[in-house]
Amino acid sequence: MIDDDVLTGRLAAADAHLDRLFTADLDDPARVRAFRARVAREVAADGLAAAVAGDPVAVERLLAEIRPLVVRYCRARVGRRGSFATADDVAQEVCLAVLTALPTYRDRGRPFLAFVYGIAQHKVADAHRAAGRNRAEPVAEMPDESDGDAGPEARLLHRELNDRMSALLRLLPEAQREIVVLRVVAGLSAEETAEVVGSTPGAVRVAQHRALASLRRALAMQA
């Protein structure tokens, strides 16, 4: 059984982590470079071209590369409990929709992941509408990335952190929540986020600033 003092200290550390997250400069050049490098590894240009051309091996590899990102996004936007459509079900629909749309994809300077997240955004909206028709309110959750080999205490702490982040996100208006998820959870740049939500990078940064200011105030009130 975890000691109360230890748990209190760890939850304080979790609060500090949240504060760093929501006060971070999301346009930090090092962060952007790291994300670009990750995308380059995940979706290689030659593999994407082969997948668009219909190569079955390339298609399978591409779907394997994007699925974890799609699941992460859907879990943050839909949640996995108390909803009509689970996040993983929605993620599967997104991957199938990407597969269907893949032959029509053309590289016109728009990042491929923005193309993927645009499809994901529409599928999440469909899931929310379906949940509304079925009187089941989607419960947003932060994606669970805890180590499967972690002990029960570590999993408890991770769950607590996720729950707090999810509760904070639910305080935001829908449009701001979408931008924060794309920027913080998906790791997109302001330009890529603008592509997904149909806005401008400047408007994304303004909405992001307002959203993070609201989250900082909420954190301060909880302190």
Instruction: Tell me how many domains the chain contains.
Output: 1
Question: Quick one: pLDDT at residue 192?
Answer: 84
The DSSP line for 2-71 is --HHHHHHHHHHHHHHHHHHHHS-TT-HHHHHHHHHHHHHHS-HHHHHHHHTT-HHHHHHHHHHHHHHHH
* pLDDT > 50? residue 136: no
Question: Quick one: pLDDT at residue 2?
Answer: 43
- Give a yes or no: residue 30 inside a domain: yes
Tokens of 188: 């997109």
Going by C-alpha positions, the residue among 31, 68, 208, 211 that lies closest to residue 143 is 68
Q: Is there a contact between 2 and 156 (Cβ–Cβ < 8 Å)?
A: yes
- Give a yes or no: residue 5 inside a domain: no
pLDDT, one tens digit per residue, over 166-216 is 777 788 888 898 898 888 777 788 888 898 888 999 999 999 889 888 888
- Tokens 């003092």 locate to 5
Q: What is the identity of the amino acid at 200? A: T
* pLDDT > 50? residue 82: no
- For residue 183, the enclosing domain spans 11-141+148-222
Distances (CA, A) of 113 to 36, 83, 148, 171, 222: 11, 26, 27, 27, 35
Distances (CA, A) of 6 to 57, 147, 162, 166: 49, 20, 19, 23
- Give a yes or no: residue 1 inside a domain: no
pLDDT, one tens digit per residue, over 18-58 is 555 555 555 565 665 565 566 555 566 678 888 999 999 99
- Give a yes or no: residue 156 inside a domain: yes
- Give a yes or no: residue 6 inside a domain: no
- Give a yes or no: residue 3 inside a domain: no
pTM over 0.75: no
Q: How confident is the model at residue 100 (pLDDT cuts 50, 70, 90)?
A: very high
Long-range contacts, 8-15 (Cβ 8 Å, 24+): 10/157, 11/157, 11/160, 14/157, 14/160, 14/161, 14/164, 15/164, 15/219, 15/222, 15/223
